[in-house]
Amino acid sequence: MPTNKQDKTRIVQIWGDILDEGFTSVPNLLLRYRSSLGIKPKHLTLIIDIMSFKWDRYSPFPSYSTLAKRAGIEERSIKRITQDLVELHLLTKEPRFNEETGAQITTIFDFRPLVKKLTEEMLKSDLYQDTDKENDVNLNNEGYDRNITGGGDYNVTQRILIYK
């Protein structure tokens, strides 16, 4: 790791060596629209905790007991919170089974409904409406890239996915 602070990325300047244990990215849209989607603090905390288990393109599948232990609450509370997210149409759950025994070992947590709702909120927002239509780049019928003005000093390109 460089010793010159100017050479370090901003996140390393803020958090330092604790990042060696990993970190979880949280989309700003999740923070911005959580209230309008009915996401309470307990929901947000659990979403972030579950997403800390997402390392690849597959949906994460931590056990309820692991999530409960990390949160310091009962397993049944974790199940209630995930059920809230299902009822809010932000999460789908699917049992994950041991291939040898056929026993359920964990649950697969799929947040594609949450991503869809966040995308819908973004499309309704002033941030999206104020963009330059000429900067849209159509890629295919599954989505497109859109150049927008970010909340900071930079323009960013967002990949807009269309869920069917």
Question: If you search the block for the tokens 């909340």, which residue do you land on?
Answer: 151
Report whether 21 contacts 113 (CB < 8 A). Answer: no
Report residue 155's pLDDT band, with 50, 70 and 90 as the boundaries: very low
One domain for residues 97 and 130: no
One domain for residues 47 and 82: yes
Strands (E), the chain: 92-97, 104-110, 137-140, 143-149, 155-161
Decide if pLDDT at 145 tops 90. Answer: no
Decide if pLDDT at 130 tops 80. Answer: no
Quick one: what percent of the chain has pLDDT higher than 90? 58
One domain for residues 130 and 106: no
One domain for residues 105 and 131: no
* Assigned domain for 129 exists: yes
**Domain range for residue 64?**
5-111
* Assigned domain for 69 exists: yes
Lowest mean pLDDT among 31-40, 105-114, 125-134: 125-134
91: buried, middle or exposed (CB in 10 Å: 19+, 13-18, 0-12)? buried
Lowest mean pLDDT among 3-7, 22-26, 39-43, 117-121: 3-7
Number of domains the chain is built from: 2
Residue 20 belongs to domain with CATH number? 1.10.10.10
One domain for residues 75 and 23: yes
157 SS3 class:
strand
pLDDT digits (tens, 9 = 90+) for 53-99: 998 889 999 999 999 999 999 999 999 999 999 999 999 999 999 99
Report whether 52 contacts 24 (CB < 8 A). Answer: yes
DSSP for 88-123? TTS-EEEEEE-TTT--EEEEEEE-HHHHHHHHHHHH
Q: Is 95 left (phi over 0), alpha (psi -120 to 50) or beta?
A: beta
pLDDT at residue 159, rounded to an integer: 53
